[in-house]
Every structure is written in structure tokens, then in C-alpha cells.
Structure 1
Amino acid sequence: MKLNNQLRSLAAIAFLFLSAQALALPEDRNQPIKVKSDHFDGNRGKNLFVYSGNVQISQGTLQIRAERVEVHGTAEGEIQKVIAIGKPAHFQQQVQESQNPVKAKARRIEFRVNADELQLSGDAHVDRDGNTLSAEKIDYDLNSEQIQAKGQSGNGRVEMIWKPEKKTPEQSTPEEGQESP
């Protein structure tokens, strides 16, 4: 019975975390949350819930895959942060119906719920429609949509690749009466 109560508490925490995301499709928030792992350890007294071993979390278009996922809460029962750890850990979610999902991976992914901040560290990589950003660390503020990336100390670099937009024939040719540059 005690384990059942812990699972309910964890499910409530996971629901709050997943539904709080700013970049989700609206219908994602109404989808059931599915969590699979080899092991679960919940400590309500410490407000720490840990899934380990081939962790898979999904809700609508949201997918998280990692070796370990930690959910840290507050004494009031609110989620403070969620940490996914793997080699690498993966995060994927479709932001807009007209676009492909945003994909992120890193050895450590931390989502600070109240601040709506996502931190990727350790071979961090973000891909949105083929436009990519790679760095040792990527910080993403979901509210302001501000991104900061840092290479490894010393000679580490940040790499960004932007794909040119495909133009239709109408966009490629000058309008009648206009000269080409």
C-alpha cells in the first residue's frame, strides 16, 4: 500500500513537471504519462524520486530517454527540478505542428521547473529542423527563448549549423519589371 501511495505521488509530480513545459503542444498536456524503467526508488521524506535503468518517459510528443532520471521536489510537493543522465540522455518534443520535433541530447539534462530553464551539459546538442547547436554546455531559458552555449575550457568551441530555407520558384525569380542584383 505504501509503494502504491509513492507511485501516485510520483505520477502527480511527473504530471506537474511535464505539463509545466512552455514549449509543448497544447494537446501533449492532456495525454497520459508513460514511464518505463528497470528500477524505481522514491523517498517522499527527501522529496526525491529516482528512475534508473533504461528510463523512457513519454507524454504526447514528449520523449525522454536516459539511464537515470531524478525528480527533485520541495516540502510543499512542488517539483523543483528534473535531471536526466545518460550516455547521452535524450529529450524530444514537437513544439509546433508544422515543424519537426526539437531534439536535444547531452550526458546531463536538467530542467528547472519554476524558472523554465533547460541546461544541457556534456557533449550537448540541440537539433531543430536540421539547424543544430553543439557545445559542451547549453543553457536555454524557455520564457525568454534566450540560448547560451559554451565550449570546453581551453580549446573547446561552439558549433552552429543553419540550413538555408528552401525557396519556391516564385521566391527565387525576380518579379516582372525588376532587375536582378
Structure 2
Amino acid sequence: MSRNPPANLARLALVVLLSGLCAVQASAKTSDRNQALELESDSQEGSIDGNGTSVWSGNVHLVQGTLDIQAARAEVIRKDGEVVKAIFTGNQVKMHQINDDNTPVDAVANRIEYDMQTDIITLTGNYTVKSPRGTNSGEKMVYDTKTGNMQSGGGGGRVKSVIQPKAKTSTPPATQGKR
């Protein structure tokens, strides 16, 4: 197999995965979806047709617009020719993206999985999601991209969230009276 991934398959799986992941803190940069996707790895195997799994392994590096992912392995699973799941693994998978509001979002986890049939993203294994708004970390986070509901916990560890205060806007002092 070629070391270059099938662009349409990789783009569909990875952009959807990471757009959803970024929604944990804010919306992902929508213009990234219109950028060329570059995916490099030490090896790639699989087919882009029908049912099956395509795997990129060894120093996987994906770049699409402001989106940047580094993992040991990327796996894309298809059923009836449609991508149904994307899984990134490594110690640790690293993701960086700039949101539409120009704020950065960074995430790390040992495993990031996106189930496209349920629109559920699961981060497991010492995950942390950071943005200027705050951080959330623990052993497992399940995020429903349809509802925005997030559940963290499980795996025996505690969940830690740090929420930054809203920036105060300066209001001019009220005038005492007119002369």
C-alpha cells in the first residue's frame, strides 16, 4: 500500500473527530475543513472501499489548517463504504487547533475515539483538554457532539476542572452630575 492516505477517507474521519473534540471547549475553526489534509506516518495499510479498517502507524502526524495531531497510530473503520469510527492511540496523542474565535484548544489522551454513528467522542487514559476558558482532566471523558453533554470520570481516577473567570469589561464610572 502507498504511504499516502486516501484523502477523502482521512479527511472525513479526522476532521469530524477533531471538530467534535474541539467543541468540548469551543467550536473548531470551520475554515479548517476546506484546507488540504496532510497525513504522514511510517506505514499505512488498508483499503478505502467497502468494509474494513485502514491503519496509519508510526509517528503519525496530521495537519489540516490549524488542526495538528500527533499519534503513534490512527485507525479508520468503515462499514458499507462509510466511515463509522476513527481511533487515535499513543502515549500520548496530542491535538492542537485554533477555534473560530482565534482561541487555541489543546488536548492529550492515550486514546481518542470518535464514533460517527452515535456522534460520541471518548478520550481515555490520562486526558487533558485545555483552552483559555479552562481545563478538564481525568481518566475518561465521553462527549456527545449532538447534545454538548460531557461526562468525566471512571477508571479509578478523579476529575479535575479549572474554569477561568470571565474577563471583565471596563465600564466608565458614572458621572456625579452635570454642570
TM interval, shorter chain, is: 0.7 to 0.9
Match among 116, 137, 141 for residue 140 of structure 2: 137
* TM, length-normalised to structure 2: 0.81
CA distance in 1, matches of 2:51, 2:117: 19
Q: How many matched pairs?
A: 167
Q: Does 1:158 align with 2:162?
A: no
Matches for 1:1-181 after TM superposition, within 5 Å? 3=1, 10-20=6-16, 21=19, 23-43=27-47, 47-75=52-80, 77-96=81-100, 98-153=101-156, 156-170=157-171, 175=174
- Structure 2 residue runs of 5 or longer lacking an equivalent are 21-26
* TM, length-normalised to structure 1: 0.80
Judging changes above 3 Å, is the alpha-carbon distance between structure 1 residues 158 and 74 closer, same or farther for their aligned structure 2 residues? same
Cα offset for 1:99? Answer: 3.6
Judging changes above 3 Å, is the alpha-carbon distance between structure 1 residues 175 and 79 closer, same or farther for their aligned structure 2 residues? farther
**Identity level (%):** 35
Amino acid at match of 1:119: T
Cα offset for 1:175? Answer: 4.5
Judging changes above 3 Å, is the alpha-carbon distance between structure 1 residues 151 and 32 closer, same or farther for their aligned structure 2 residues? same
Q: Secondary structure at the match of 1:32?
A: coil
Structure with larger RCO (C-alpha < 8 A, sep 6+): 2
CA distance in 2, matches of 1:46, 1:129: 41
Cα offset for 1:124? Answer: 1.1
Amino acid at match of 1:72: I
CA distance in 1, matches of 2:47, 2:82: 14
C-alpha RMSD of the superposition: 2.4
CA distance in 2, matches of 1:132, 1:59: 24
Alpha carbons 1:18, 1:59 under 8 Å: kept? no
